[in-house]
Structure 1
Amino acid sequence: MILLGAFFSGPPALIVQDLVRSTAEERWSLFGVAFADPWFLTLIPLAIFLTWRGSEARRVAEARVPTIGDPKLAGSASSKLVWLAPIVRMLSVLLVIVGLSRPLEGRVSTSQETEGIDIALLLDRSSSMDQRERAGGPRRFDMVKDVVADFAKRRMTDEENARDNVALFGFARYAELLVPFTLDSDALQGVLSTLDVETEQLLDGTAIGGGLMEAVDVLRGSEAESRVAILLTDGEETAHEIEPMKAAKAAVEARVRVYTVFAGPREILTRTMFGDVRRRRAEVGDLPAIAEMTGGRFFHAESQEELEDAYEAIETLERTPRKEERFAERYDLYPFLIAPALLLYLLSWILGATVGRRLP
């Protein structure tokens, strides 16, 4: 398009562009020039060799025939131009070969559809999250923050797939939107780094239903094709202002898929009134039912490794690859090479019959 515009302007240029518009695909490029049939370029060394051999054979044959006339004719100006005709002929052949390789000019633009997923991260901030799985080990809340921070950063900065908008919610007795939906990973990481468990007794509790409902209300206004909530807690509902299953029904209506994660031991040791120690399974409440109803999955993570596995599994399930569309508008340049090639060949014939001719 750029090259064509250098030679033509106005309405005639549009006619020429329509005549040379190409549907050929680029198979090779050299110095920014694209070629549709580049294998013809391999004929260039052969063309140079045959042209040189042909001119050399004629020179030897003419040297064997004595010339008639002035001996000084051999050193005349015309005899010094005998090399010009083969060179011009070689250039014409080279132009034909380049034309056969179908050089192309044009533009190729790529559009990317990068719409990702809106992901709401819900973290339990109740005082029970302050516990440690073992003496001297990290707090459960700190362990959760590290895993969630890594997950959020991957989803918000993904280069191979669509980047996701992520929001952060915290809940104890009441739910709170801490970070609205954003692609700013640094902002979310900054809030996470300063976040801690609830220490006020009046504000302590586990409002699973309230936290999920808060996230669903925000996600309801999302324009994303896929909406996901990941709810993490270490206990059952204690606030009971909004029951978890009611919030789950609201999630279904808003087309929000909910993944639930229980971060805590699978078995709990209890002591009876007689001093006996018994093991019982940890109560996970409505978490499995919420996940099943909304089309998500339930995970039970007892250690940091299992917690990382849970979020990696969610990441695998929720992938939106980038979609790319290529638009190409190309023009064949061979018409602008064939015409000069024919003119050069005609010129070589004229030179061969005049200044480049040797008289026997």
Structure 2
Amino acid sequence: MDYYSFEYPYLIFLLFPIIYCLYRCKERLKPIYFVHLHFLSAKKSFYKLEWIVKVAIFILLAIALASPIIVDRVDPLNRNGKDIVLAIDASGSMNSSGFDFESEEKTSQRLSRFEIAKLVAAEFIQKRVGDNVGVVLYGDFAFIASPITFEKNIIVEMLSYLTQGMAGQNTAIGEAIAMSVRAFKHSKAKSKIIVLLTDGEHNSGDISPKDALVLAEEENIKIYTIGMGNRGEADEALLKTIAQASGGEFFYATNAKELREIYESIDGLESSKIKSRDYLLKEYYYHLLLLVALALLLFLINREMRK
């Protein structure tokens, strides 16, 4: 949110003695007696204009010293939001097609499940205005593709570089949950959420989903599970158990439209305060005032030289 302010507002008080002095401490002129006073009318007019210009210069200089700024309060961590980790399945089955995706231009594209999952996840991330988001990719094993951060554009760009199979061809759901829990290591959010997406069954990894679920419960992490693909391909029973035990919900998407709607439903999650520091972006404008004051000063000098 933008607002106007001064970096050194107390310097504004310099205006008062300066203006008072300009008004009261007038230059004492030696009286000159002249009969035809109408010849001096132009001079009097100039002296009045000169005084106004001088006052304007001093006002501009005093305001410039106070340093007027526009402050953009960027509050990436101290906001009403939540920390979210998206755990995305990159196993061999995610290379399957037949999960049509309709872009914002209303053109249909035939992409793999993994590519569609990335596109819908990117849309979800960009809508997380008050949240910090991280990404975990998993197959035979799991790894943190992006730590939890407020920099949404960086995460979305990173998603475009992820490929199906880069974590192996199997589905280690337990590893995915455990690695997602590890991603919250430095999180100070009260609301921590994992959104786990898969189109298969747990069949790999050294950590079982049951043991991984215990880790999530210890950290008070809520897990939302999403099964995608044809009914029966994903282990619905396991995904329901994980979601219910952690206080989350289970969803199933058989097409890209349903997947989008699921992420929109998760969009309605409650928010909580994340404790950290503010970050202020300041745009300075004192130089504009100095330029105007300089222009007025040059105007006075030019008039004085032409007298």
d(CA) in 2 for partners of 1:114 and 1:199?
34
Q: State TM-score, norm by structure 1.
A: 0.51
SS of the equivalent of 1:292 reads helix
2:166, 2:135 → 1: CA distance? 20
For 1:124, the equivalent position in structure 2 comes to 89
Q: CA deviation at 1:195?
A: 1.1
Secondary structure, counterpart of 1:141 in structure 2: helix
The residue that corresponds to 1:278 in the other structure is: none
- Verify the 8 A CA contact 1:219 1:256 in the aligned structure 2: no
Q: Which amino acid aligns with 1:297?
A: E
CA radius of gyration, larger in? 1
Superposed CA offset, 1:221-256 (max 9, x none): 311111111000001100152111211121111011
Aligned to 1:182: 149
- Residues 1-360 of structure 1 mapped to structure 2, 5 A cutoff: 114-133=79-98, 137-155=110-128, 158=129, 163-198=130-165, 203-266=168-231, 283-320=235-272
Q: 1:5 Cα shift? A: 5.1
Q: How far apart are residue 204 of structure 1 and its match? A: 1.8
Q: Using the alignment, how far apart are the partners of 2:162 and 2:227 within structure 1?
A: 19
Contact 1:245-1:286 within 8 A present in 2 as well: no
Are the counterparts in 1 of residues 86 and 194 from structure 2 also a CA contact under 8 Å? Answer: yes
State the AA in 1 paired with 2:244: E
Q: 1:4 Cα shift?
A: 11
Displacement over 3 Å in runs of 4+: 1-9, 318-322
Separation in 2 of the partners of 1:319 and 1:304? 26
The gaps in structure 1 that reach 5 residues or longer are 10-108, 269-281, 323-360
Would the alpha carbon gap of residues 6 and 134 (structure 1) be closer, same or farther in structure 2, given more than 3 Å must change? closer
Q: Kindly tell me: are residues 240 and 3 of structure 1, through their superposed partners in 2, closer, same or farther at Cα, counting changes over 3 Å?
A: closer
CA distance, structure 2, for counterparts of residue 151 and residue 183 of structure 1: 13
What secondary structure, in the 3-state scheme, does the structure 2 residue paired with 1:145 have?
helix
**Structure-2 change in CA distance of 1:195 and 1:4 (3 Å):** closer
Equivalent pairs counted in the alignment come to 202
Could you give the per-residue CA deviations for residues 101-122 of structure 1, whole angstroms, max 9, x where no partner exists? xxxxxxxx9x985142111010
- Residue 283 of structure 1 deviates from its aligned partner by 3.6
Amino acid corresponding to residue 242 of structure 1 in structure 2: I
Unpaired runs of at least 5, structure 2: 1-8, 18-70, 101-108, 275-307
Q: In structure 2, give the amino acid aligned to 1:317.
A: L
Q: For 1:152, give the aligned amino acid.
A: I
After superposition, the Cα gap between the structure-2 partners of 1:152 and 1:6, relative to the gap in structure 1 and judged at 3 Å, is: same
- Kindly provide the amino acid, as one letter, of the partner of residue 153 in structure 1: Q
Distance, in Å, in 2 between the alignment partners of 1:247 and 1:3 is 60
Instruction: Tell me how large the CA RMSD over aligned residues is.
Output: 3.0
Contact 1:229 1:257 in 2 (8 A): yes
**Helix, strand or coil for the counterpart of 2:217?**
helix
Alpha carbons 2:224, 2:243 under 8 Å: kept: yes
Supply the distance in 2 between the matched residues of 1:117 and 1:173 (Cα, whole angstroms): 29
Partner residue of 1:82? none
> Structure 2 length normalisation: TM-score?
0.59
Distance (Å, rounded) in 2 between the aligned partners of 1:247 and 1:214: 9
